[in-house]
A = this chain, B = another copy of it.
Amino acid sequence: MSAGIRRLDTVGMRAATAALVSAGTRISLVPTMGALHEGHASLIRRSRADGHATLVSVFVNPAQFGPTEDFGRYPRTHEADVELAASAGADMVWFPEVHDLYPSASVGVAGTPRLGVAGTMHVCAGPTGEVLCGASRPGFFDGVCTVVLKLFSLSRAHVAHFGEKDWQQLVLIRQMAREFHLGVVVRGEPIVREPDGLAMSSRNRYLQPEQRSTALALHRTIEFARARFAAGERSAARLEEALLGAWRAEESAAPRALRLDYLSLREPDTLMPAEQLAPATRLVLAAYLGDVRLIDNAPLGGGSTSASEGGGA
């Protein structure tokens, strides 16, 4: 399965990408935190289809975790990640060390990496990073933008692939590439879902069996919104009200098991609250199942959000 894939540290990756650039080969980066699943595989396949040398980075980035979050228990599955990356067609898997990416602020107390970006030079994501997920996770997008800038610089990537499940992240990375003139093309790929509609996520493996079925509330809410839009609803205020009603019914059906973080209709490129609904208007939502936080999103119009979306296998 993994014949030919190269497993690289930062020094090896730097040498490999320098040689590729010299040879005129285009490089696509697929930045991940590991625990790879079919969503990541779809990004890798897309890069291969473009004919680019495909580099998958695997790095659980301490700068995007808060002190009460799951940095310590975030799944590390390096062997399986290499296998999956190889089977999807990646050429290289890169495992940076913390000190490669954070040379002057790599450790905190007792040798553990410092969490967050406070006290370091970093990218401030600005107002678009302070809403939605950024409101629940202060500093999260500062940490994301900071590490992605470094991954771009070190990898010499021409193109980078991100999943649409992290829609706000995709918006911000595109904004960063444009604002900082990074010369990297940022591609978003559709969400890959389980057969029952749950968006694939590395954090799904935290879910207990009963949480796993409760988690379908997110996808049901998306389908409800899309059905209302298809039936002609064009008022953002009215649709949000209806969605909150539908969500309250979901919470009643799973008392104490499900808790909304946010649910909102947004302009797709700016994340400003939507006023007029359109097919591209994005429903974004986040919820807690116990202490597991899941996110999902979809446009109100366009193709289906069933399991086949974006699969491409």
Contacts and interface: CB of A to CB of B under 8 A. Distances in A.
Nearest to A104: B179
Interface of A: 102-104, 117, 119-129, 142, 145, 149-150, 153-154, 172, 175-176, 178-183
List the number of copies, as a whole number.
Answer: 2
Given A121-B180, A122-B126, A149-B180, 7 more contacts: A103-B179, A120-B179, A121-B172, A121-B175, A122-B123, A124-B124, A124-B142
A122 to B, nearest CB: 5
Nearest to A177: B153
Contacts of A119: 126-127
Contacts of A178: 103-104
Contacts of A181: 150, 153-154
B126 A123 contact: no
Contacts of A172: 121
A128 B123 contact: no
Nearest to A151: B181
B128 A180 contact: no
Counting chain B CB atoms within 10 Å of each CB, the highest count among A102, A124, A127, A150 belongs to A124
A150 B120 contact: no
Contacts of A129: 121
Contact of A120 (B102, B126, B154, B183): B126
Contact of A128 (B102, B121, B142): B121
A149 B183 CA distance: 13
B179 A121 contact: yes
B180 A150 contact: yes
Nearest to A156: B183
B125 A176 contact: no
A87 to B, nearest CB: 30
A117 B120 CA distance: 17
B183 A153 contact: yes
